[in-house]
Amino acid sequence: MRVLTVCATLLAGTCGALAEAPRVVTDIAPVQGLVDQVMAGVGSADVLLPPGASPHSYAMRPSEARALSSADLVIWVGPALTPWLADPIETLAGDAQRLTLTGAEGVQLLTFRSGGSFEPHDHDTHTEHDAHEDHDGDHAHEDHAGHAEEDHDHGTPEHAGADEAHDDHDHAGDTDPHIWLDPQNAQAILTSVAGALAELDPANAALYRENARAGREEIAQTAARIAGQMASLQDIPFIVFHDAFQYFEARFGLSARAAVSLAHGEGASAGHVSHVRRVVRETGAVCVMAEPPVQQGLIDAVTGSGDQRVEAISPLAGENPADKIAYGAFLMQIAEAFRRCLAPA
């Protein structure tokens, strides 16, 4: 941790050296936004993945490797989202504490949906992770041994099987790592982050916990507003380009009916395109929720000559390097994109 000289008693004119601002590194911008909420008044977190980069495959720049090597705490979603990050965490940040969010207490997990078409969501499809918190300083690396979920161990950033979650095939049945798009998961993440920081920096433990409490309240208010906006849109069918928004859909009862691409960044077979085109026709899907950059040719192939709206938004927050958006504002942007896509013209 950085050591800052702070005046302890101004009247006495004495100063002491206090360890402050733990060096925290996160994987993606939405996680950075949540961590920054907890660290407000103390410091801020670094993020490894730059805007526009794919979380599924990325080669770190030297500056990012240096940030990781100097980290006191690494907070990441897990190898199901960023399989390339597992080895660097071990080799560059082996002495750092780590918090794997797919294994954090209270985080509810979904599996990727199977086949070419989807059934409407039931809220019971969430499964709450029953593991204890992942950030005990003395055993952060093996906290979740024996609590494996799907194809990876949440406590150890190993990536055995993680590559299969994002290969060229349908990844149905694997854990869907887009956990931050469920506001209830975001609330659980705030709690776990506060606990991890409190162990690392006890002097600021009360502030971290108060920031997390305030953040949970803010997210609850944001989620309530979004629920009101989505209530009249729940039965309107749509398709997604890639199955990245399932947690948001499930939380707010939205009705995605198919995904154009079954694997991130991959095309689709002629048979799958034909199947999705049939789903669009039979369900009356009104729009396509896509991610930038929009692959318009493939979207046209499944919508034909229809007049479906196309809305594009990244599940990873801002595309501009200067953007640093708070989680609540990010979630509202997602909601607004769905509203534009689904609302009657």
What average pLDDT is seen over the chain?
Answer: 82
Q: What is the pLDDT of residue 123?
A: 46
**DSSP state for residue 165 in the 8-state scheme:** G
48-103: pLDDT as tens digits = 999 889 998 999 999 999 999 999 999 999 999 999 999 999 999 999 999 999 99
Say which DSSP state 174 is in. Answer: S
How high is the pLDDT of residue 268?
77
Which tokens go with 272?
Answer: 């799958």
Rounded to whole angstroms, how far apart are CA atoms 304 and 293? 20
Indicate if the pLDDT at residue 136 is higher than 50: no
pLDDT level of residue 150 (50, 70, 90 thresholds) = very low
Residue range 232-239: mean pLDDT, rounded: 96
Quick one: average pLDDT of 148-160?
34
> What is the per-residue pLDDT for 120?
66
| Mean pLDDT, range 123-134, rounded to an integer | 44
What phi and psi values does residue 261 have, to the nearest 5 degrees? -115, 130
CB 287 within 8 A of CB 339: no
* Per-residue model confidence (pLDDT) at position 325: 81
pLDDT at 121: 58
Indicate the residue type of 206.
Answer: A
Q: How far, in Å, are 84, 191, 261, 278 from residue 101 at the CA level?
A: 16, 11, 26, 37
Where helices occur in the chain by DSSP H, the ranges are: 29-39, 62-69, 86-92, 183-200, 205-230, 246-252, 270-283, 296-303, 327-342
pLDDT at position 231: 97
Percentage of residues in the chain having pLDDT higher than 70: 74
How far is Cα 87 from Cα 144, in angstroms, rounded to an integer?
18
Helix axes 270-283, 296-303, angle to 10 degrees: 60
Both tokens assigned to 176? 């869907």
Q: Is the pLDDT of residue 166 over 50?
A: no
Structure tokens at 119: 């059934």
All structural domains of the chain: 23-225 (3.40.50.1980), 234-342 (3.40.50.1980)
